[in-house]
Amino acid sequence: MRTGVWLVGARGSVATTSIVGALALRAGLTGPTGCVTELPGVNSPALPGFADLVFGGHDVAVTPIAKRAEALADAGVLPARLVAALPEELSAVERELRPAPTAGTQADRAAALVRDLTAFRQRHELARVVVVNVAATEPAPRPHPGHADADALRAALAGPDEVLPPSSLYAYAAVAADCPYVDFTPSTGLRLPALTALADRHGVPYAGHDGKTGETLLKSVLAPMFAMRHLTVRSWSGLNLLGGGDGATLADPDANAAKVRSKQRVLGETLGYLPQGDTRIGYVEELGDFKTAWDLITFAGFLGTGMRLEFTWHGCDSALAAPLVLDLARLTAAAHAAGRTGPLTDLAFFFKDPLGTATHSLADQWTRLCAFAGSLDAGDTDATRG
């Protein structure tokens, strides 16, 4: 089952790490650490193998992917030996990358995106192409009547306005090309009534949003711990310091606000009340792709006694995100093959701000993920249907 993985933001850190990693796994040069889909309970014959994945993508940047990979190796994100061992494989991917279309109306650009996706699928005889958005985080878009209704949207796109933010135009094109869509970022993407309606019409599944890789991952196990022990969280405050491309984008207060909001949601929903404090994001160029997050949690125990927990997370964001991108591509492809449509709420395990009313407890999300993965293997796939 050859499966396309089309990355929006294909020259970024997360995308490049995902690609190098998948190529290295295929070549047997590394192991699947960090890949959830390789764990018993989630792994399943229904999932395409790493060797079945074919990569392509869009980006507004032009730096060759091999150069980006070298830069990531210099920054300690990737082992240099892997990049050195895969020159031809990286060139092959390079040939599948396309510039983001810029000419014409948004309708024209969407059509160009659809052509790129369709041509990719045909060129490589792919069973399907999963589109994954790993482009830079956008600010929240200006409201537009076309966001609410698929037909109004189509009409508006043909006009001169920038009706959709870029992430949503990619989502629109993905759906139009019958591709499942995953939003790994906090950007709008498919989250507009017009677009989810369109996705339903095209019968494609979609997942999102905002990959859960650091502080929120910890929150999704620590907040349930406090809840299960009936301890009252009085305040939860944090500072996320990060450099890298993503850090620079998030230094923009608008993008920052979107990210911070999705980070707090887990607390309110898990605890049933919102503790004092908030989470801040700070850009420190010198930290590069490594992020340092510090959180202070004050809580009350029996008879009101005050206590505190502090943690420092020092993680490489791209190395944490990349295997999840591969996991999501595999799971969403298998869901599509199994005929699933609409929001894949069972993939909440992977996201800061998951679709649907899913629980925010990582353990509960895990249980749902395992059940979901198991159900994909029930035989109702392309093969059996074909």
Ligand X SMILES: NC(=O)c1ccc[n+]([C@@H]2O[C@H](COP(=O)([O-])OP(=O)(O)OC[C@H]3O[C@@H](n4cnc5c(N)ncnc54)[C@H](O)[C@@H]3O)[C@@H](O)[C@H]2O)c1
Q: Which residues bind ligand X (CB under 6 A)?
A: 8-9, 11-14, 58-61, 100, 134-137, 166, 184-185, 210-211, 213, 244-246, 249, 317-318, 320-321
Place of tokens 């749902």: 368
Q: Taking contact as CB under 8 A, which single stretch among the options 47-55, 122-130, 273-281, 374-382 is the one that binds a copy of itself?
A: 273-281
What residues contact 157, with CB distance under 8 A and at least 6 apart?
Answer: 105, 106, 107, 110, 146, 163, 164, 172
Determine, following the binding rule CB under 5 A, whether residue 312 of this chain makes contact with Na ion: yes
For residue 174, what are its two tokens?
Answer: 């993905």
Determine, following the binding rule CB under 8 A, whether residue 292 of this chain makes contact with a copy of itself: yes
Q: Do 321 and 184 form a contact (C-beta atoms < 8 A)?
A: yes
Q: Which is nearer to ligand X, 184 or 283 (CB)?
A: 184
Q: Do 173 and 189 form a contact (C-beta atoms < 8 A)?
A: no
Task: Please select the residue that binds a copy of itself; options are 38, 89, 116, 138, rule is CB under 8 A.
Answer: 38
Determine, following the binding rule CB under 8 A, whether residue 70 of this chain makes contact with a copy of itself: no
- Neighbour tally for 284: CB within 10 Å: 13
Interface pattern 77-116 for a copy of itself (x via CB under 8 A): xxx--x----------------------------------
Residue 280 site contact among Na ion, a copy of itself, ligand X, none (CB < 5 to 8 Å, cut-off depends on kind): a copy of itself
Residue 386 site contact among a copy of itself, Na ion, ligand X, none (CB < 5 to 8 Å, cut-off depends on kind): none
- What DSSP designation does 63 have? S
3-state secondary structure 315-327: EEHHHHHHHHHHH
Determine, following the binding rule CB under 8 A, whether residue 32 of this chain makes contact with a copy of itself: yes
Determine, following the binding rule CB under 8 A, whether residue 310 of this chain makes contact with a copy of itself: yes
Counting Cα atoms < 13 Å in the Cβ hemisphere of 170 gives: 32
Residue 342 site contact among Na ion, ligand X, a copy of itself, none (CB < 5 to 8 Å, cut-off depends on kind): none
How far apart are alpha carbons 335 and 170 in whole angstroms?
20
Task: Please select the residue that binds a copy of itself; options are 92, 225, 378, 383, rule is CB under 8 A.
Answer: 225
Determine, following the binding rule CB under 8 A, whether residue 35 of this chain makes contact with a copy of itself: yes
Residue 211 site contact among Na ion, a copy of itself, ligand X, none (CB < 5 to 8 Å, cut-off depends on kind): ligand X
Strand-strand pairing, 205-208 and 279-283: unpaired
What are the counts of helices (DSSP H) followed by strands (DSSP E) for the chain? 14, 11
Report which of 298, 258, 309, 297 is spatially closest to residue 281, judged by C-alpha positions: 258
CB of 277 to a copy of itself, least distance (A): 5
CB of 167 to a copy of itself, least distance (A): 24
Q: Which segments of the chain does DSSP mark as H helices, in order? A: 13-26, 65-74, 80-85, 87-94, 106-123, 150-157, 166-176, 193-202, 215-228, 244-250, 253-271, 317-337, 362-376, 382-385
Report which of 60, 117, 56, 40 is spatially closest to residue 92, judged by C-alpha positions: 56
Residue 308 site contact among ligand X, Na ion, a copy of itself, none (CB < 5 to 8 Å, cut-off depends on kind): a copy of itself
Task: Please select the residue that binds a copy of itself; options are 115, 282, 342, 382, rule is CB under 8 A.
Answer: 282
Q: Which is nearer to a copy of itself, 138 or 289 (CB)?
A: 289
Determine, following the binding rule CB under 8 A, whether residue 28 of this chain makes contact with a copy of itself: no
Determine, following the binding rule CB under 8 A, whether residue 298 of this chain makes contact with a copy of itself: yes
Residue 137 site contact among a copy of itself, Na ion, ligand X, none (CB < 5 to 8 Å, cut-off depends on kind): ligand X
Cα-trace Rg, the chain: 21
Q: Which is nearer to ligand X, 236 or 283 (CB)?
A: 283
Whole-number Cα distances in Å, 63 to 14, 73, 97, 342, 361: 15, 15, 11, 35, 39
Residue 130 site contact among Na ion, ligand X, a copy of itself, none (CB < 5 to 8 Å, cut-off depends on kind): none
In the complex, the residues that contact Na ion under the rule CB under 5 A are 310, 312
